[in-house]
Structure 1
């Protein structure tokens, strides 16, 4: 009986050992401090390259047109909502991608007022993207007010193009 039990235990332990995966390299399972400097450098370079490639894939060809606003308004237009829905889909598919929404205004109004209005515009876009399922950690906002105009001309068209929110992507 003892021999049978001993044989059974030996068989089970051999089967358990046979199912373990063998490391691909003798140093793969060692902590960094026990690896040779050459193995550690190669692994670090490989990991950095893989991380950079993953970040590039995460970004893909993500881009978005500016969102334009009416004078003294931070209300989204219907055509902007459609574009933001497409952007939200892309951001949900790329969780490593970060986007900064920058709010801009035309030159009308005081500097303080325009900074606040630019902030409201960026916040409206950010909140809309959040409502469409984009993670808060992917979104940040900044206001430039009137400081970064697309056009310095004083025509109504130039002023209209300066009332916008723009996107900057990173990973």
Structure 2
């Protein structure tokens, strides 16, 4: 009888141990996941704009990039695609090249601020993805931009 109680106790210990290993465990760092989500949104929110036929970073957008760099240094798992855009004027080839130079300018600025280049990639859409339709200065100025898309967290 004593050996049955011992076996039963041993079975319960083994069963409890096995269940605890296979039971779903809430991810550690739930707050970290929430912080990464907030950081990703902050990176996505900031758009930078360019003057006609230019790709230099204007002084007014340096702080936007400074904030993105600080976030990316804090969260090295975040990867970002910088998307360069142009307005509708110019040829397709010219605008693709200009959009790439705009994305590359932001890329280089972020790297200078200490962002790991492996966290960044660039693409140019040229004039293919306008945010505002129209053939006027308001539409053109809204479309000359870099967007930042988080592609990995």
Does the Cα contact within 8 Å between 1:66 and 1:167 map onto a contact in 2? yes
In structure 2, the partner of 1:115 is: 96
Max radius of gyration: which structure?
Answer: 1
Query: What are the equivalent positions in structure 2 for 1:3-22 lying under 5 Å apart?
Result: none
Pairing partner for 2:35 from 53, 57, 63: 57
Shift of residue 58, structure 1, vs aligned partner: 2.6
Does the Cα contact within 8 Å between 1:58 and 1:95 map onto a contact in 2? no
Does the Cα contact within 8 Å between 1:115 and 1:146 map onto a contact in 2? yes
Pairing partner for 2:55 from 74, 86, 111: 74
Which blocks of at least 5 consecutive residues in structure 2 are unaligned?
A: 1-12
In structure 1, the partner of 2:147 is: 166
Q: TM-score, normalised by structure 1?
A: 0.69
Which structure's relative contact order is higher, taking Cα pairs within 8 Å and 6+ residues apart? 2
Tell which deviates more after alignment, 63-72 or 76-85: 63-72
Shift of residue 52, structure 1, vs aligned partner: 7.9
Query: What are the equivalent positions in structure 2 for 1:15-164 lying under 5 Å apart?
Result: 41-42=22-23, 46=25, 49-50=27-28, 54-61=32-39, 62-63=42-43, 64-164=45-145
